[in-house]
């Protein structure tokens, strides 16, 4: 049975277009800003091992499942889940899985745009040579005073949201696709350059063993939950976005191979970012557990001391902004596709309203770094709470439900037909998605319950 549905939002022009767009969505602040600092807060090597295990055993199979569901449904997540549930004679309540994704994407965008604003602000600082000759302590002060200034954060957050929505309203082909082609190779090159700088500090070995010598006694229930959540966040899965992108994917493209390429690119960028940042951390006696400011306090030391540092620093933060941009435009896609399909809104109208909403909510994150930083729930500021609830709860929960739908509810023929894999690859995928991933998520969740208690 081949499926002849078409998406009303258009289609990617080729397999490469999907790969580029999905890589654009996956590679972002999660890899360069978040991964290094959460690794530092969670004890280094053991966290990396756990994160890689989550990527391989849990996130990758679910990535494949999500693309598969999307391409089969050829609809946005909410309508898509409705159609698939009908087709598989399952409960219509599955559409709420789509809804959870719509909401998660919206919530993530609200704070993601704030951090994207940080990257933009640092382009300006890099360009004007503000890092020249500064040491770790001075850069820490620079970051602290930046964070303490809500008006500046608000300005950059607004700009980040504005440029995000400008691309979003242009639509699938013209807007999203054109972006990533040049970005990825450029990002790779700059990261490699920075790793090279790391080697020149003489602390590359220390960084390497910090990242790759696991000491499992450092792991807490919290780290385990964060590693799982990050594997979802960094691949952008569990919220229907990959499903939406999958729905624009041409037939006859191998989903498995395509997914593996995206995962490989994403993981490589994250590891390279770690290998670029940690030598600088150790060479300058900085704290790996510095938190969200880590990349902004460390790499500028390198830029302030290396030849061509102004140029390289500017390029780095510009590329980080671009990487964040190709992710931010994707996050809101499930919500946009939903209102366009369901309410018949134009993309422009949908973009304006949703963008405005996410911008408003983002102001709370802006304030959580200064005026409201004492205001905590479960020991977390508003930004931390939103990040925790979305990455570590909503996305893994969404992923769990996707895995269950794809392998317990959907008939074997349907998924086999849509994936078009060899019998062996299919069996491996099915075992991982049907047993290993759900079990992993449930066990980690149960283990993590201790955090809130
Ligand atoms: N994967 C993106 C990153 O690592 C973040 C993201 C999450 C994008 C969810 C889309 C959806 O930066």
Q: Residue 116 is part of a domain; what is its CATH number? A: 1.10.4160
Dist. CA 362–CA 258, nearest whole Å? 33
Q: How many C-beta atoms surround the C-beta of residue 377 within 10 A? A: 9
Is the model's pLDDT at 174 over the cut of 60?
no
Evaluate if residue 3 carries a pLDDT over 90.
no
In this prediction, residue 5 carries a pLDDT of 65
Asked if residue 215 has pLDDT above 90, the reply is yes
- 3-state SS assignment for residue 169: coil
Q: Which residues contact 185 (CB under 8 A, 6 or more apart)?
A: none
User: DSSP string covering 338-377, please?
Assistant: HHHHHH---HHHHHHHHHHHHHHHHHHHHHHTTTTTT--B
Which tens digit of pLDDT belongs to each residue from 125-163? 999 999 999 999 999 999 999 999 999 999 999 999 999
DSSP state of 177: G
Identify whether 137 is part of a domain: yes
H or E stretch at 128: none
Q: Is the pLDDT of residue 182 over 80?
A: no
Structure confidence by residue, pLDDT tens digits, 326-345: 899 989 988 988 888 889 99
Q: Give the confidence band of 19 by pLDDT, cuts at 50, 70, 90.
A: confident
Question: Per the domain annotation, does 79 fall within a domain?
Answer: yes
Over residues 266-292, mean pLDDT? 95
Cα dihedral 416, 421, 425, 431, rounded to 10, equals -20
Is residue 6 a part of any domain in this protein? no
Q: Which atom of ligand 1 is nearest to the CA of 233?
A: 7
First to last CA, the chain: 50
Q: What is the structure's pLDDT at 283? A: 94
Spacing, Cα 200 to ligand 1 middle (Å):
32
User: Does residue 2 belong to any structural domain of this protein?
Assistant: no
State pLDDT tens for residues 233-244.
999 999 999 998
Residue 371 region by backbone torsions, left for phi larger than 0, else alpha for psi between -120 and 50, else beta: alpha
Per the model's pLDDT, the better-predicted residue between 66 and 185 turns out to be 66
Report whether pLDDT(268) > 50: yes
Domain enclosing residue 88, as ranges: 15-448
State the closest ligand 1 atom to the C-alpha of 323, by its place in the atom list counted from 1: 12
Mean pLDDT, residues 263-289 taken together: 95
Count other C-beta atoms under 10 Å from residue 52's C-beta.
15
Averaged pLDDT score across all residues of the chain: 92
- The pLDDT assigned to 21 comes to 83
Residue with tokens 């993981």: 267
Mean pLDDT (whole number) for 70-95: 93
269: Cβ below 6 Å to ligand 1? no
**pLDDT on residue 1:** 40
More confident residue, 331 or 175: 331
Question: Both tokens of residue 127?
Answer: 């360009």
3-state helix, strand, coil in the chain (%, to 5): 80, 0, 20
Instruction: Say yes or no: CB of residue 247 within 6 Å of ligand 1.
Output: no
Is residue 1 one of the residues assigned to a domain? no
Above 70 in pLDDT, residue 11? Answer: no
Q: Does residue 197 have a pLDDT over 70? A: yes
Question: What pLDDT is stored for residue 49 in this prediction?
Answer: 97
Instruction: Assess if residue 7 is contained within a domain.
Output: no
The residue-averaged pLDDT of 393-422 equals 96
C-beta of 233 in contact with ligand 1 (< 6 A): yes
Cα 324 from Cα 187, distance rounded (Å): 12
Best of 24, 27, 28 for a ligand 1 pocket test (most atoms within 8 Å of beta carbon): 28
* Residue 105 or residue 451, greater confidence: 105
Tell me how far apart the alpha carbons of residues 235 and 327 are, in angstroms, rounded to a whole number: 10
For position 7, what pLDDT does the model report? 66
- The answer to whether position 381 is within a domain reads yes
Specify the DSSP element, H or E, that contains 224. Answer: helix 221-235
- Across the range 100-121, mean pLDDT stands at 97
> 3-state class of 380 per DSSP?
strand
CA dist., res. 24 & res. 85, Å (int): 30
In-domain check, residue 251: yes
What the block records as the tokens of 120 is 């933009």
Tell whether ligand 1 has an atom less than 6 A from the beta carbon of residue 30: yes
Q: What is the number of structural domains in the chain? A: 1
What global pTM score does this model have? 0.94
pLDDT in tens, 297-307: 999 999 999 88
């Amino acid at each position: 049975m081949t499926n002849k549905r078409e998406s009303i939002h258009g289609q990617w022009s080729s397999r490469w277009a999907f790969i580029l767009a999905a890589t654009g969505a996956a590679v972002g602040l999660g890899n360069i800003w978040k991964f290094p600092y959460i690794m530092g807060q969670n004890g280094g090597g053991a966290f990396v091992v756990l994160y890689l295990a989550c990527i391989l055993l849990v996130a990758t199979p679910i990535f494949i499942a999500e693309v598969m569901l999307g391409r089969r449904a050829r609809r946005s997540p909410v309508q898509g889940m409705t159609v698939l549930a009908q087709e598989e004679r399952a409960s219509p309540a599955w559409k709420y899985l789509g809804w959870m994704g719509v909401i998660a994407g919206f919530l993530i965008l609200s704070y993601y745009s704030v951090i994207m604003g940080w990257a933009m602000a640092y382009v300006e600082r890099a360009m004007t040579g503000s890092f020249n000759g500064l040491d770790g302590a001075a850069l820490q002060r620079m970051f602290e005073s930046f964070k303490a200034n809500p008006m500046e954060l608000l300005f950059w957050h607004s700009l980040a949201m504005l440029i995000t929505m400008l691309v979003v309203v242009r639509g699938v082909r013209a807007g999203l696709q054109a972006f990533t082609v040049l970005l990825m190779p450029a990002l790779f090159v700059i990261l490699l350059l920075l790793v090279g700088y790391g080697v020149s500090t003489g602390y590359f070995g220390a960084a390497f063993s910090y990242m790759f010598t696991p000491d499992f006694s450092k792991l807490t229930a919290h780290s385990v939950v964060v590693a799982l959540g990050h594997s979802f966040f960094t691949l952008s899965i569990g919220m229907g976005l990959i499903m939406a992108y999958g729905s624009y994917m041409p037939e006859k493209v191998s989903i498995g191979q395509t997914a593996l390429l995206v995962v490989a690119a994403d993981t490589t960028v994250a590891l390279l970012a770690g290998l670029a940042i940690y030598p600088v951390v150790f060479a300058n006696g900085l704290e790996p557990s510095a938190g969200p400011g880590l990349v902004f306090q460390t790499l500028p030391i390198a830029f302030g001391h290396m030849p061509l540092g102004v140029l390289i620093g500017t390029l780095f933060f510009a590329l980080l902004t671009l990487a964040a941009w190709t992710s931010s435009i994707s996050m809101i896609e499930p919500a946009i596709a939903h209102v366009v399909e369901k309410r018949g809104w134009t993309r422009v109208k949908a973009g304006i309203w949703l963008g405005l909403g996410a911008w408003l909510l983002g102001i709370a994150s802006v304030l959580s770094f200064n005026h409201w930083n004492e205001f905590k729930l479960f020991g977390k500021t508003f930004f931390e709470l939103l990040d925790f609830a979305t990455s570590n709860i909503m996305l893994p929960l969404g992923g769990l439900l996707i895995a269950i739908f794809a392998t317990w509810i959907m008939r074997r023929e349907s998924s086999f037909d849509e994936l078009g894999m060899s019998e062996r690859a299919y069996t491996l995928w099915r075992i991982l998605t049907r047993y290993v991933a759900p079990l992993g998520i449930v066990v980690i969740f149960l283990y993590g319950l201790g955090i809130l208690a």
